[in-house]
Amino acid sequence: MAQPSVAIIGAGQAGLQVAVSLREQHYEGRIALIGDEPHVPYARPPLSKAYLLGEAGDLALRPQTYFAQHRIDLIAGKRAVAIDRTRRMVGLDDESVIEYDHLVLATGARNRSLPIPGVELGNVFLLRTLDEAALLRERMAAAKNVVVIGAGFIGLEFAATATKLGANVTVLDVADRPMARALSKTMSAVFTREHEKTGVRLMFNTQAMRLLGEQCVTAVETVDGKILPADLVLIGIGVIPNVEVAATCNLTVENGIVVDEFLQTSDPHISSIGDVAAFSNRHLGGGRVRLESVQNASDQARCVAARIMGQPDAYDAVPWFWSTQGSLKLQMAGLPSSGCEEVVRGDPNASKCSVFLFRDGKLACVETHNRPADHMLARRLLAERAALTPDQAADPTFDLKSLLPRPAARVAAA
Amino acid sequence: MPKLTVVTRTGDEIEIEQTRPGASVMELMRDHDVPDLLALCGGSRSCATCHVWVDTAFLSKLPEAVEEESELLDSSMHRQPNSRLSCQIKWKDELDGLRVTLAPED
Ligand SMILES: Cc1cc2nc3c(=O)[nH]c(=O)nc-3n(C[C@H](O)[C@H](O)[C@H](O)COP(=O)(O)OP(=O)(O)OC[C@H]3O[C@@H](n4cnc5c(N)ncnc54)[C@H](O)[C@@H]3O)c2cc1C
Ligand code: FES
């Protein structure tokens, strides 16, 4: 091959960041960034929040001109359909072929569909892409009764947005509390109370059985026989990793593309990052996970770019995440897992509080509601493996900063 | 056109001449390809990965930080009296000559 080259499948948050980081580190070879959406890479988080309110600025993560300027061959609107590992080539759906020395699989995830009658009706939405959000935004204008199926992050962000836009919003979930898989019981209770205050109706331990309507949806029927009028339905019941292209070339796939601690697949010429990658690291207490967050996509991308540039390092970043739900701001650092001891800092009945979660006496995760300082400190405490005890966390007068090394004195710059 | 100067993590200076009133300093930096700027939350005061140190002569021309911004910055390892989140600084022509330094990553 004449020139070294990197091919990246998936032009989302993770795929773009690989290309950006490679160029920042003066990678000289060719970079092909292949994405099946007809847009420049864009930020997804605003799609369930500011974008629907018409308040988001430009969602593009880089201006259109960036790609040519940096010799990044953005192949937008085309799908990678095959990988030939022996010849190191990616085949696209238009039958063109891209060669690589290193291939990064950053194909993300897609929404899980709901296998019940009526999901094909008009005004029933999933929310992942800009195109879906654009249509949703248009239809929101006339929506009066909105039903959200799934009280996860996206469902609740959307519920808060729809409430702000003036709709009557009902959220259903099979679980007994919101964000049940990710949040402590205490924090779930805070969010239940706060959402209810704004008028969102939350229904737990129930399920949609079918969607009713002729062309457009008119109601949702639940398994317990309730009929909820709805002129718009959003389904947010989780995602499925886009592993198909990896599976075509026999890479190990198991709820995501399996990678080692360097984010490398079973083929040393292929890495995988972002929502699609199943990895393990020290913050996870042993298991393998897939994380769906901007932080994870971006930090994993930087880790792989550094390895391509000859600086291999195990991926070790502290996971963190935010979810803005109307005026509620949830931030998380570390990873939740069941069986943690919950310690509340602040007043859970007030408009701000934090929950510190301890696994075997060690800090594992911190959830904050409107307490950004605790969130930032939590990221550092976890990174430093600071020896915070549950009693210290519970004591509002205990200075969390005292457990952190002091930064070297610095002369004020600029 | 009113100009913004950015000092990168490696100490290089980038001059941004195409400033747009209303755009945030973070957006101007991102669109002019300032290396190492992550700005992961896209300007929603959630990540603090757009932290800059602002030329002190300009501090008084900037609106005060809201509580959420100060809290995020207070807990940063690289907090200085002139720390700001660049996504919270809306560009206006009076800021001509502003110089910001990208703070190290937390
Ligand atoms: C509505 C919404 C709100 C969110 N809010 C937050 C938030 O507040 N905070 C947060 O941290 N995270 C949030 N997230 C999650 C975050 O956006 C994702 O974790 C992040 O986008 C993952 O990046 P990625 O590059 O791995 O995947 P993606 O961004 O999904 O990018 C993958 C891309 O690859 C494309 N692709 C897949 N297969 C192929 C193929 N074979 N060929 C070519 N292209 C392919 C996909 O179409 C997609 O464009 C949100 C997500 C959504 C949908
Ligand atoms: S971009 Fe996230 S706080 Fe500024």
Can you give A108-173 as a three-state secondary structure string?
CEEECCCCCCCCCCECEECCCCHHHHHHHHHHHCCCCEEEEECCCHHHHHHHHHHHHCCCEEEEEC
Whether the predicted pLDDT of A409 surpasses 80: no
pLDDT tens across A209-251, in order? 999 999 999 999 999 999 999 999 999 999 999 999 999 999 9
* Amino acid symbol at B31: D
Overall average pLDDT of the A116-134 stretch: 98
Whether the predicted pLDDT of A414 surpasses 80: no
Q: Which chain B residue lies closest to A406 (C-alpha atoms)?
A: B77
* Domains, chain B, ordered by start: 4-102 (3.10.20.30)
* Amino acid symbol at A190: V
pLDDT tens across A312-367, in order? 999 999 999 999 999 999 999 998 777 899 999 988 888 899 999 999 899 999 99
Question: CB distance A376–B48 less than 8 Å?
Answer: yes
Overall average pLDDT of the A265-281 stretch: 95
Question: CB distance A372–B45 less than 8 Å?
Answer: yes
Bridge partners (DSSP) of residue A405 are none
Overall average pLDDT of the A278-284 stretch: 80
User: Which residue numbers in chain B have pLDDT < 70?
Assistant: none
Overall average pLDDT of the A189-216 stretch: 97
Question: CB distance B80–A412 less than 8 Å?
Answer: yes
Residues 6+ apart with CB under 8 A from A249: A82, A83, A84, A85, A267
* Domains, chain A, ordered by start: 5-110+240-308 (3.50.50.60), 124-237 (3.50.50.60), 336-403 (3.30.390.30)
Q: What is the ipTM of this complex?
A: 0.93
Name the band, by pLDDT with cuts 50, 70 and 90, for residue A408.
Answer: low
Q: Mutation target for B interface from A376, A380, A381, A401: give the one with most B CBs within 10 A.
A: A376
How many helices (H) and strands (E) in chain A? 10, 25
Whether the predicted pLDDT of A1 surpasses 60: no
Residues 6+ apart with CB under 8 A from A216: A121, A122, A123, A231
Contact in structure between A103 and A83 (CB atoms under 8 Å):
yes
What is the helix (H) or strand (E) element at residue B80, kind and residue range?
Answer: none
Question: Considering chain A, what is the average pLDDT of its residues?
Answer: 94
Sheet holding A102-105, edge to edge: A72-76, A30-35, A5-9, A102-105, A270-272
Q: What is d(CA A241, CA A238) in angstroms, rounded to the nearest whole number?
A: 10
Q: What is d(CA B38, CA B48) in angstroms, rounded to the nearest whole number?
A: 9
C-beta A37 within 6 A of ligand 1:
yes
pLDDT tens across A46-100, in order? 999 999 999 988 899 999 999 999 999 999 999 999 999 999 999 999 999 999 9
Overall average pLDDT of the A115-139 stretch: 98
Nearest by CB to A298, from B35, B38, B101: name it. Answer: B38
Judged by a CB distance cut-off of 8 A, whether residue B96 touches chain A is no
Overall average pLDDT of the A271-292 stretch: 88
Ligand 1 centroid, distance to A35 Cα (angstroms): 11
pLDDT number for residue A338: 77
Name the band, by pLDDT with cuts 50, 70 and 90, for residue A186.
Answer: very high
Report the interhelical angle of A372-383 vs B67-74 (nearest 10°): 20
pLDDT tens across A79-92, in order? 999 999 999 999 99
pLDDT number for residue A2: 63
C-beta B89 within 6 A of ligand 2:
no
What's the number of CA atoms in the CB half-sphere (13 Å) around residue A150?
A: 21
Residues 6+ apart with CB under 8 A from A75: A32, A33, A34, A35, A92, A98
Contact in structure between A33 and A72 (CB atoms under 8 Å):
yes
Q: Which chain B residue lies closest to A296 (C-alpha atoms)?
A: B40
Integer CA distances (angstroms), A376 to A298, A362, A387, B25, B73, in order: 18, 18, 17, 22, 8
> Tokens 């939405």, residue?
A125
Ligand 2 centroid, distance to A373 Cα (angstroms): 14
Whether the predicted pLDDT of A106 surpasses 60: yes
Task: Name the residue of B24, B25, B26, B100 whose CB sits within 8 Å of the most ligand 2 atoms, as the mutation to test its pocket.
Answer: B26
Length of chain B: 106
Task: Name the residue of A9, A13, A272 whose CB sits within 8 Å of the most ligand 1 atoms, as the mutation to test its pocket.
Answer: A13
Name the band, by pLDDT with cuts 50, 70 and 90, for residue A3.
Answer: confident
Q: Mutation target for A interface from B6, B29, B47, B72: give the one with most A CBs within 10 A.
A: B47
Residues 6+ apart with CB under 8 A from A391: none
